[in-house]
Amino acid sequence: MLKILIFFVFSVCSVFGYFTLSGECPKNVPVKEEFRLAEFYDKWYQTHYYSSDGQKQNNCSVIQLASKSTGIYLNQSRVDLGLFHRYSVGKLEIPPRIEDAAKLNVSFTFPDAPRRLTVRKYPFYVLATNYNYYATVYTCEYSPLIDKHYIYVWILSRHQILNDVSKELAIKPLAALGIDPKKLVKDDLSKCSPKYFEDMQAEPMTFRYPVPIH
């Protein structure tokens, strides 16, 4: 009970801090056409990101996609708060319609959370990519409780450095979301050997969870 209470209080406090953009998530966000997931596999470095609540919690973020017998999984690893090397593994949901190929969802399972919060699903839309150099991925969550939303955008690169041409292409989709590219934060990939290495799965810090009170 106490755990649930703490979780709840924590979540409610979080909601007010994280969800800063008014109204619902943008509709009809243009995504990558004819997206081919098979070419999106393996490793991506996050060279820049946009987080609408302005939080800067990690560096050295790497996303890795891999197939297992039970599905396709996404492993997000990063250095949290400059101290902890952590990772989170989510399962990708593959859209059945070919037109929606880039509209992936990722779901994380937290067996210890209160039951209605054990599985958390987030959009994970690929807005742009050429598979070999850059990719732009977007998520948005809406909190009906306060009628606000939260956006996170990953600018990903196959290499630790994103070349200028690729960066230009990668930031193009930001215009449709009304995001000023100046608000992108550069991920620092130079100090990636922190003090602590956690080999247990942790909560992903790039997503926000609206408290489901109805």
Ligand X SMILES: *[C@@H]1O[C@H](CO)[C@@H](O)[C@H](O)[C@H]1NC(C)=O
Among 89, 153, 171, 174, binds ligand X (CB under 6 A): 89
CB 40 within 8 A of CB 65: yes
Tell me the closest approach of the beta carbon of residue 212 to ligand X, in angstroms: 13
Q: How far apart are the first and last CA of the chain?
A: 20
Tell me the closest approach of the beta carbon of residue 118 to ligand X, in angstroms: 16
- In eight-state DSSP terms, residue 53 is T
| Residue among 7 and 87 whose Cβ is closer to ligand X | 87
Interface stretch with ligand X, choices 7-15, 26-34, 50-58, 137-145 (CB under 6 A): 50-58
95 touches ligand X by CB under 6 A: yes
How many other CB atoms are there within 10 angstroms of residue 182's CB atom? 5
Among 11, 51, 52, 58, binds ligand X (CB under 6 A): 58
Tokens representing residue 17 in the block: 């801090």
59 touches ligand X by CB under 6 A: yes
Tell me the closest approach of the beta carbon of residue 55 to ligand X, in angstroms: 9
Measured CA to CA, the distance from residue 194 to residue 2 in angstroms comes to 32
CB 54 within 8 A of CB 188: no
132 touches ligand X by CB under 6 A: no
* Phi and psi, residue 90, nearest 5°: -120, 155
User: Which residues here bind ligand X, judged by CB under 6 A?
Assistant: 56-59, 75, 77, 81-82, 87, 89, 93-95, 105, 121, 188
